[in-house]
Amino acid sequence: MEKKVWFITGISSGLGEAIANKVMESGDFVIGTFRKQEQVQAFNGKNSGKGRAVLLDVTDYATMEKLVSEIAAIDVLVNNAGMGFVGAIEESSLKEVRAVFEANFFGVLKLTQLVLPKMRAQSSGHIVQISSHGGFKAFAGFGIYNASKFALEGFSEALAQEVQPLGIKTIIVEPGPFRTNFAASGLGEAKNIIDDYNQTAGNFRNRLKGVNGKQEGHPEKAALAIINAVNSENNTLRLPLGKIPLSTMKMKLDSVLNDLEANRKIAEAAVFD
């Protein structure tokens, strides 16, 4: 079987690192991104012939464009790099919100657009979008992060329909809490704190930090699930990972269904006779 080339963003730690390691163990080749030159050098020193590290900040579009143009073929794109953010909607400044969207939405969108011509030319490929169960259901105190991941899922859902006839598959991965740096160094916070939100957004912030290191999710097991999904003939559009997403996503579905049924007559009456 011919080696696949995986382009994975954000492989310095957490899920990205786990995916990169498991891909190399499987015999495929990894091109992975880091934000520090010393990390690039360390990775390349250890993984000659199995992978290659490159320097990239996913909000640096000029570097991204040059980098992708120099890669002959990409079989699997994993948009993993991003950032967390906690804060009530009112607490969040536009500057903070834009930073979250640059990393979690615009950077992913741009890289996906750059890689698609290569996949169209070879009539094959996988786009793997690392979203979150928070990309499907919102939580008080997590609204800005939720919004960025909702946006990611929105364009990815449409993308899946656009590229499926071209031989390209799309997978939206929706992890719950995993034992990564997400709730520590990977977490941004609104600088403005409003006491009125202590019981909602503030409570969420404290709970999120409190579970750091105790999350249910196992990054290596998640990485294997993602690799298996890519190699499967029958992968689904959405791939929840962890027990918590099964619960939270079903809560959202039940809530939407309840709203539909509660408003069915109102909805049906708002049309021309």
What residues are labeled active site? 131, 145, 149
Closest to 183 measured CA to CA, from 216, 207, 149: 207
Q: Cα separation of 66 and 77, whole Å?
A: 16
Q: Please name the helix (run of DSSP H) or strand (run of DSSP E) that holds residue 19, with its range, or none.
A: helix 14-26
DSSP 178-216: BSSSTTTTTEEE-S---GGGIIIIIHHHHHHHHTTT--S
Task: Give bridge partners of residue 33 from the DSSP assignment.
Answer: 54
Please answer whether residues 143 and 137 qualify as being in contact, where contact means their C-beta atoms are separated by less than 8 angstroms.
Answer: no
d(CA 23, CA 50) in angstroms, rounded, equals 9
d(Cα 108, Cα 128) in Å, to the nearest integer?
Answer: 11
CB atoms within 10 A of CB 196: 11
Residue with tokens 């196992």: 218
The C-alpha atoms of residue 141 and residue 183 are separated, in whole angstroms, by 14
Q: For the sheet containing 51-55, what is the strand order?
A: 51-55, 29-34, 5-8, 76-79, 125-130, 168-175, 238-241
